[in-house]
Chain A
Amino acid sequence: MNDSRDQLSGVNLVVRGLHKSFGEQKVLDGIGFEVRPGEIFVIMGPSGSGKSVLLKHLIGLETPDAGEILLNGEPIHSPEIAAKYRLALVFQSGALLNSLTVGENVGLYLTEHRLKPAAEIEKIVSEKLADVGLNGLMDKLPSELSGGMRKRVAIARALVIEPQLILYDEPTSELDPLSSVVIGNEILNLKRRIHVTSLVVSHDRDLAFGVADRIAVIAEGKILIIGTPDEVKNFNHPLVQEFLHADFKREG
């Protein structure tokens, strides 16, 4: 699995003219962007802007009405893709299998696909858990962990696949600021260590500006801007500025 440098490096992701409607409601209205190999690309936008639906398209849980999604130039829905490239999604909820232990969750991909002998799987699992700072939790059940820990286990589970593309769905939602920073650093570490392509969907401004190489802001199913964090900050569009500078108003 990790026998060549090429297999470990990230892939190129291109999305072109993606349209999706549910009944009368247009959710994605011509979305297009490119994520370069090894890049951390953050998609930001308010709730209901189409971020989660976009992510479901990228992982193949939804099919678009129109448009295409290409991984290294090949359509993501073609049957060979699953065998050729390794993709991982870190779910917003973690989506750990609650009846399995943390160790079994992290090693599930290897066990089910019979990729390694049991002893080796155990070694890999403890390595990956150590990578996300969760030593010695192999025998715990997901219900015994905090929200932040569950998310880190979900990242460890994604790492076992040795992914070339990781998709994160709101990785810091429901987390306290310290845990958010831990997750943010983890995303940066992975880029450094395995040069993985990362696509982060989030409405967390701190996370987005802290980790992103480039940011896309999406609203009402359309992309308003794609650029570096500085370019996005300085982009003069009322919706973008409102989203970036939303704050409480206290009187007196």
Chain B
Amino acid sequence: MFRNIGEIVLLFWRTLLALPLAWRQRQKVLEQFFEIGNASLLMVCMLSFFIGGVISLNFGPTLVERSFANILGGVVGLGIARELAPVMMAILIAGRIGSAMAAEIGSMRVYQEIDALRTMNINPVHYLVLPRLVAITLALPLLVVFSILVGWFGGALVANYQHQMDIPFKVFFANMKDLVALKDVANGVFKSFFFAIIIGVVSCHQGLTTIGGPRGIGRSVTKAVVNSIVLIVIFDYLLTSFWLLLTRMGLI
């Protein structure tokens, strides 16, 4: 993976340089955007609901036992907004969309479609990478906001109806309101923006460098997903540290 970092950064740079052309490619950006939304919305909903629920289930009874029931809303609220929603959604999208990007571009490469584009003087970065990268960097942060809301709701529902907790919605959300600020949601969205770039660039790069036949395409898909997830987890730590630094400096 690390051998390819230079190439990945270069591809990202080339795509950045091509950003002014994104408006021309708006049709393709919209297609990709709806593809990502359509393909993932239901999964995002389910995953987020159960993540919220399981956090309540894990922490709720212990907190209730020690008479801290009223802080569960804050624990779920912060955990989901800052960490679980952005990371879990990024991993879901890496598996769902990153793999599709690598497979589609990879098969285009193997079946000479990319060579055909080049002979028509059509830059594959502009034609294939740019719309995908723009679409995913728009879609993932939106999905994360949606995921945060659904996760909170899932947490509240479990806290309310699980017999060991019985925490009313009002108490749950009042505490969440006390502890969770808009900047915590912004933290999650901020991270997801970078995760989207990682998934887009890594997957497109894997697609563009695919060699061999169907086995090569399979290898590229696996690499795209695995490398994306590894980088997401590493960057999660770095970006969280960066966010804390900004907070300490009073910039947020």
A87 touches B113 (CB 8 A): no
A113 touches B113 (CB 8 A): no
A112 touches B108 (CB 8 A): no
A95 touches B120 (CB 8 A): no
Query: Quick check: is A138 within 8 A (CB to CB) of the other chain?
Result: no
Return A205 CB to nearest CB of chain B, in Å. Answer: 25
Choice from B104, B118, B120 contacting A112 with Cβ under 8 Å: B120
Which chain B residues lie closer than 8 Å to A141 at the CB level?
none
On whether A98 and B111 interact (CB within 8 A), knowing A91-B116, A112-B127, the answer reads: yes
Query: Quick check: is B67 within 8 A (CB to CB) of the other chain?
Result: no
Choice from A59, A61, A96, A109 contacting B113 with Cβ under 8 Å: A96
Which chain B residues lie closer than 8 Å to A93 at the CB level?
111-112
B120 touches A91 (CB 8 A): no
Query: Quick check: is B115 within 8 A (CB to CB) of the other chain?
Result: yes
How many B residues face the partner with a CB closer than 8 A? 16
Per-position binary interface string of chain B over residues 97-117, scored 1 when its CB falls under 8 Å from any chain A CB and 0 otherwise: 000000010011001110111
B112 touches A95 (CB 8 A): yes
In the assembled complex, the Cα of A91 lies from the Cα of B127 at a distance in Å of 20
Which chain B residues lie closer than 8 Å to A109 at the CB level?
120-122
Return A97 CB to nearest CB of chain B, in Å. Answer: 5
| Nearest residue, chain A, Cβ from B127 | A112
Per-position binary interface string of chain B over residues 16-34, scored 1 when its CB falls under 8 Å from any chain A CB and 0 otherwise: 0000000010000000000
Query: Quick check: is B38 within 8 A (CB to CB) of the other chain?
Result: no
A98 touches B113 (CB 8 A): yes
B116 touches A61 (CB 8 A): no
A113 touches B121 (CB 8 A): yes
Return A173 CB to nearest CB of chain B, in Å. Answer: 14
Return A196 CB to nearest CB of chain B, in Å. Answer: 15
| Nearest residue, chain A, Cβ from B104 | A99
On whether A61 and B120 interact (CB within 8 A), knowing A93-B111, A95-B111, A95-B113, the answer reads: no
How many A residues face the partner with a CB closer than 8 A? 21
| Nearest residue, chain A, Cβ from B121 | A82
Query: Quick check: is A156 within 8 A (CB to CB) of the other chain?
Result: no
Query: Quick check: is A89 within 8 A (CB to CB) of the other chain?
Result: yes
Most-contacted residue by chain B among A88, A95, A98 (CB, 10 A): A95
Return B216 CB to nearest CB of chain A, in Å. Answer: 16
Return B26 CB to nearest CB of chain A, in Å. Answer: 13
Query: Quick check: is B119 within 8 A (CB to CB) of the other chain?
Result: yes
Query: Quick check: is A8 within 8 A (CB to CB) of the other chain?
Result: no
A88 touches B119 (CB 8 A): yes
In the assembled complex, the Cα of A69 lies from the Cα of B201 at a distance in Å of 35
A61 touches B118 (CB 8 A): yes
Which chain B residues lie closer than 8 Å to A113 at the CB level?
121-122
A97 touches B121 (CB 8 A): no
Query: Quick check: is A70 within 8 A (CB to CB) of the other chain?
Result: no
In the assembled complex, the Cα of A97 lies from the Cα of B115 at a distance in Å of 11
The 8 closest A-B pairs by CB, nearest first: A95-B116, A95-B112, A89-B119, A109-B120, A112-B122, A97-B113, A82-B121, A91-B112
14 pairs from A and B in contact (CB 8 Å cutoff): A59-B119, A88-B120, A91-B116, A93-B112, A95-B111, A95-B112, A96-B113, A96-B116, A97-B113, A97-B116, A98-B111, A108-B120, A109-B121, A113-B121
Given contacts A91-B116, A109-B121, A157-B120, 4 further A-B contacts (CB under 8 A): A97-B116, A97-B117, A98-B108, A108-B122
